[in-house]
Amino acid sequence: MPQFISVFPHENPYTHLPDAEKFFSKGRIVTEEGAPITADYEGNRYLLVAKKEEMTPEGKRITRIAHPIFGPHPPADLPQVTTVDIPPDLVEFVNQHTDALLGGEPLDGVEYFQSRYDSRVFTKSDWPDIICKFSPKSKERYKSICRSRAVCQSLSLHHLVVPLATLVPINLPFPLLVEERLNISRGERAQERDYTIYKDDLHEPIRQLAHFIIETGFSDVTWRNVPVIVPPTPEGSIGLVDLEEFAEPLTGLFGGFHRRGLVCCIGLDQIPIVTKVCQQRDLQFNHLPRIIEQRKKELAAQ
């Protein structure tokens, strides 16, 4: 494996070396050893940004350059616990109706949201300020929420809102994840329209979201996961409501297999906001013209 060096962008002493001819792993997030991230990895993470070559008496030396980013846990000096008020009847109700809730069966006052095969998301009319999520991955999701809140606080990304959350023990092998309910439109089509309706208010939030994606590797970026808070304000403009997939930042920014990406969620005149952030963070993407053309066709068809 090539040598792996971690440096901060402003301290890179390798800029004088020529770039390697091929660098397929650029933009990938790796472990402290430069290896791919696995589901159970809990160490620091690094963003690969360059691959350098130089000739030495021993032969060609290849060095991969990476910038440190936040690991899966918040820094020790930032709050790791978020809290949300739990209704006094929540645990009893959930334990009493677990099978019905998991099956999405009609229950008085219960409203279900789009769910995956391994999870169930619902709320109840008596609990208008919270969202409840059944998932075997609830603990991992809670860690992602804590880490994301820490990143937003550390980088002053105040236009991004990560919901408050807590884990509630129930009669299942995993706890119930209870999150603060944000004021967002219902349904992805409505959430897509909000990016157009509030377009003039979203330039700075989009810039901050691009920084968040690069910092964390958040990769499942689509309107339903990063909805506009209605109406957007300086205290919060975009919600981060499904923080589960952190593969690598290029997918989060520009899309990939079954992934839309940030630039395909925004207007054409807002794409330079994202590309400028990439330049500042020394992150390149070679297929941007193709993605822009794809977005043009998509917008023209609307």
Give Cα 267 to chain centroid, integer Å: 20
Sign of CA dihedral 101, 103, 106, 112: positive
> 3-6 and 59-69: which strand pairing?
parallel
Side-chain-side CA neighbours of residue 240 (13 Å):
35
Tell me the C-alpha distance between 196 and 285, whole Å.
Answer: 25
Residues 183 and 227: beta-carbon distance below 8 Å:
no
Which are the contacts of 69, defined by CB distance < 8 A and separation ≥ 6? 29, 45, 46, 47, 214, 215, 216, 217
What is the model's pLDDT at position 73?
44
pLDDT at 75: 45
Question: Has this prediction a pTM greater than 0.85?
Answer: no
What confidence score (pLDDT) does residue 24 get? 67
Residue 91 has a pLDDT of 95
257, 220 Cβ separation under 8 angstroms? no
229: tokens are: 């808070």
Q: Distance between CA 76 and CA 24 in Å, rounded?
A: 34
Phi, psi of 226, deg, nearest 5: -130, 60
* Alpha-carbon distances of 119 from 75, 89, 97, 136, 295, rounded to whole Å: 29, 22, 15, 7, 31
- pLDDT the model gives residue 194: 97
- Strand, coil or helix: what is 44? coil
CB atoms within 10 A of CB 84: 16
Element (H, E) at 96: helix 90-96
Question: Edge-to-edge, what's the strand order for the sheet holding 29-30?
Answer: 3-6, 59-69, 45-56, 29-30
Q: What is the pLDDT along the chain (302 residues), one digit of tens a residue?
A: 455 565 554 445 556 677 777 776 666 777 777 777 665 666 777 777 777 777 778 777 777 777 666 544 444 444 445 678 899 999 999 999 999 999 999 999 999 987 766 689 999 999 999 999 999 989 888 888 988 998 898 889 999 999 999 999 999 999 999 999 999 999 999 999 999 999 999 999 999 999 999 988 899 999 999 999 999 888 889 999 989 888 888 899 999 888 999 999 999 999 999 999 998 887 878 788 999 999 999 999 88
